[in-house]
A and B are shown apart, each in its own frame.
Chain A
Amino acid sequence: KQEVTQIPAALSVPEGENLVLNCSFTDSAIYNLQWFRQDPGKGLTSLLLIQSSQREQTSGRLNASLDKSSGRSTLYIAASQPGDSATYLCAVRMNTGFQKLVFGTGTRLLVSP
């Protein structure tokens, strides 16, 4: 059974810092991995999607990497801003033909001005 873990559970940084969020998964037979952002009381917003054959994806100040063999992904946020404060979730889709995503429990990020 796939298990997804995110460390740390919470992170507080001053504005302008670069930071890294970690995601690990137990079964490396994944189809893709997706990073989401969730604001309190809201749904999830897709940030980056990495196919299993890719090593990284970039969007603006965000960079996500994937090391499938070691079961790890990182989300790098450059020059953090207070507006980046949210919960960040990673999710994997297995390479079994099934559609469901398996989510981690998220990292709650607070960027203070």
Chain B
Amino acid sequence: DTGVSQDPRHKITKRGQNVTFRCDPISEHNRLYWYRQTLGQGPEFLTYFQNEAQLEKSRLLSDRFSAERPKGSFSTLEIQRTEQGDSAMYLCASRETTGTSPLHFGNGTRLTVT
């Protein structure tokens, strides 16, 4: 068990550019989540996958955001035409199917939009 892995750890981009983040969940976990966290706040839910199916999306996920999980393994989160308000820590988490299993988070990707 190597834990949830996220890449890159940090990303600095200019406003208007597109960025893509990758998440590799714990291998036997079929449920994968994306959250966004700004300074001093708790994480906010963005989206949820069960295997390759995206089953929940927050209203926070505007049409500039898209997430995929091809083949039900790793996931990518893309932000198009970035804005300064997109600056945040983007956290990925995974867990097993059973309702009693806890959520395991990665160390996040910190995005700074200049």
**B12 is an interface residue with CB less than 8 A from chain A:** no
The distance in angstroms between the C-alpha atoms of A43 and B93, with both chains bound, is: 9
Q: Is the interface of A mostly helix, strand, loop or mixed?
A: strand
**A21 is an interface residue with CB less than 8 A from chain B:** no
The answer to whether B100 touches A100 (Cβ under 8 A) is: no
The answer to whether B103 touches A34 (Cβ under 8 A) is: yes
**A42 is an interface residue with CB less than 8 A from chain B:** yes
The distance in angstroms between the C-alpha atoms of A34 and B100, with both chains bound, is: 10
Partner of A99, one of B40, B56, B91, B108: B56
**B102 is an interface residue with CB less than 8 A from chain A:** yes
Contacts of A32 in B (CB 8 A): 99-100
CB distance from A57 to the nearest CB of B (A): 11
The distance in angstroms between the C-alpha atoms of A104 and B41, with both chains bound, is: 8
The answer to whether B106 touches A101 (Cβ under 8 A) is: no
Contacts of B99 in A (CB 8 A): 31-32, 51
The answer to whether A42 touches B100 (Cβ under 8 A) is: no
Contacts of B93 in A (CB 8 A): 43-44
**B85 is an interface residue with CB less than 8 A from chain A:** no
Chain A residues in the interface with B (C-beta under 8 A):
4, 31-32, 34, 36, 41-46, 49, 51, 89, 91, 98-106
- Provide a sorted-by-A list of 20 A–B residue pairs whose CB atoms are within 8 angstroms: A32-B99, A41-B110, A42-B107, A44-B103, A45-B105, A46-B102, A46-B104, A51-B100, A91-B42, A98-B56, A99-B48, A99-B56, A100-B33, A100-B45, A101-B45, A101-B103, A103-B44, A105-B40, A105-B41, A105-B42
